[in-house]
Structure 1
Amino acid sequence: MTASKSAVEAAGAMPAAPASSPQVRTVRVWDLFVRLFHWSLVGLFAIAFMTGDEIEWLHIRVGYAIAALIALRILWGFVGSRHARFSDFVHSPGDTATYLRQAAQRKAPRYLGHNPAGGAMVVALLVMIGGIAATGFAMTTDAFWGSQWVEDLHEGLVYATLGLIILHVMGVIFSGLEHGENLVKAMITGRKRAP
C-alpha cells in the first residue's frame, strides 16, 4: 500500500465497490439531526425565496428558523456524530483541488461521509446562508431599516447561494453516478453502502 493510498483511506475515502452485488451491506452515515437539518433547510430556503417581498411576515419568521438551524448545525459540527463533525469533512484547499482533479478524470476515491468538495460546499453554504440571515435580520433593525446597500447585499447573497445550490446538486449527481450510489436516498435513510 502506498503512503498516499493509506492517507486517503485514513481520511475516510475508499475505493468504489459495485452497488449491484446481491447482498449490499449498508452502514449508518448521516444521523437524524443531519438529515432533518438538510431537508428542513431545503424547504425553508425555498419558502423564504418564494415569499421574499410578497409575504413579509412569513419571510421573516422563516428567516429566523433558518438562522436557528444554521446555529444548531454549526454546534453539531463540533459535538455531533462522526460524519457530522467538521473534523471529518473539512479538508485543506490543496486536498480539495486534488479531489476535484481526480473527479474530473473520474478517478476520485469514494468517501463514506462528505468528500473534500462536498465538505467545502457544506462550509460555503453555511457561510452564505448565515450571511443571508444576518443581513435579513439587519434590515429589521433601526440602524439598517431601509438601507439599500444591506438589501442589495442580502439579495446578492441569495442569488450567489442559488448558484452554489445548483453546483451542489450537480456534484451530488456526478458523484452518485461515479460511485454508483444514490446520495439523495442516503440523505433520507442515513445509510450508505459499506466500505
Structure 2
Amino acid sequence: MTSYKIWDPFVRVFHWALVAGFAANALFDDPESTLHEWLGYVLVGLIAARLVWGVIGSRYARFASFWPTLSKITAQMSDMATGRKRLHLGHTPLGALMIFNLLGAVLLIGVTGYMMTTDAYWGVDWVENLHEALVTWAEISIVLHVLAVIWESRRTGVNLPRAMITGVKTVPDGAKTDP
C-alpha cells in the first residue's frame, strides 16, 4: 500500500463541520428556533470559506484540480462499468459533481432561509416550499453520496472515509492513479 497526503486540515474540518451543522439543522433543532437560523448562517459561512479555499487552497482542495469535464465523467463511468480500478488521488469526476451539487444546495438553502426572515418574503409560500424542497434534495444527495463513498471504497480498495478523517489516502501498490 502507498500513502498520499491528500486532504488538508481545512478540507477535513470543513467537511465534518458541514456534516454536523447540516445534520443538526435538518434533524435535531426546531426550524423556528434562533439556533436553526444561526446554524444556517454558519453553514453559509462555511460554504463561502470553501469557495475561497477552492481557488487558493492546497492542490487537491482547488476546484481546478477536480473540475468534472464530460470526458472525465464518461471515463469514470466506463471504468465502473468495465471493472477497471483507476484511482483518483483527489476527488473523482462523479464525486466532484456531488460536491458542487451539495455546495449549491446548502448555499441555496441558506439563501431561501434568510429570505424567509425578511419583510419582503416573510410568509411567502414559494420561498418556504423551495427551502423545504432544497433540504429534501440535499438529504437525498447526502444519502447517495454516502452510498457512493461506501461503494467506491469497496470497488477500489481505498478507505475513503478514513482518508477524509486522516487526510491520507492509502492505495494498493501498483494501482493506476490519476493525479
Task: Note the aligned Cα RMSD (angstroms).
Answer: 1.5
Q: Does 1:96 align with 2:62?
A: no
Q: Which residue of 2 aligns with 1:8?
A: none
Flag structure 1 segments of 5+ consecutive residues without an equivalent.
1-23
Length-normalised TM-score, structure 2: 0.90
Aligned ranges for residues 124-143 of structure 1 at < 5 Å?
124-143=101-120
**Aligned partner of 1:177: which letter?**
R
Query: Identical aligned pairs, as a percentage?
Result: 42
Are 2:134 and 1:157 aligned? yes
2:68 is equivalent to residue 72 of structure 1: no
The aligned amino acid for 1:112 is L
Partner of 2:174: none
Structure 1 residue aligned with 2:25: 48
Size of the alignment, in residue pairs? 172
Query: In the TM superposition, what is the alpha-carbon distance from 1:105 to its structure 2 partner?
Result: 2.9
Structure 2 residue corresponding to 1:146, chosen from 123, 126, 139: 123
Aligned to 1:31: 8
**2-structure distance, mates of 1:148, 1:52:** 22
- Report the Cα distance in structure 2 between the residues aligned to 1:32 and 1:192, rounded to whole angstroms: 14
Which structure: larger Rg? Answer: 1
Write the distance in 2 (CA, Å) between the matches of 1:186 and 1:51: 27
8 Å contact from structure 2 (residues 25, 31) kept in 1:
no
- CA distances 1:18-50 after superposition (whole Å, capped 9, x unpaired): xxxxxx331210000000000000000001102
Amino acid at match of 1:167: L
Name whichever of 74-83 and 171-180 sits farther off.
Answer: 171-180
Unaligned runs of 5+ in 2: 172-176
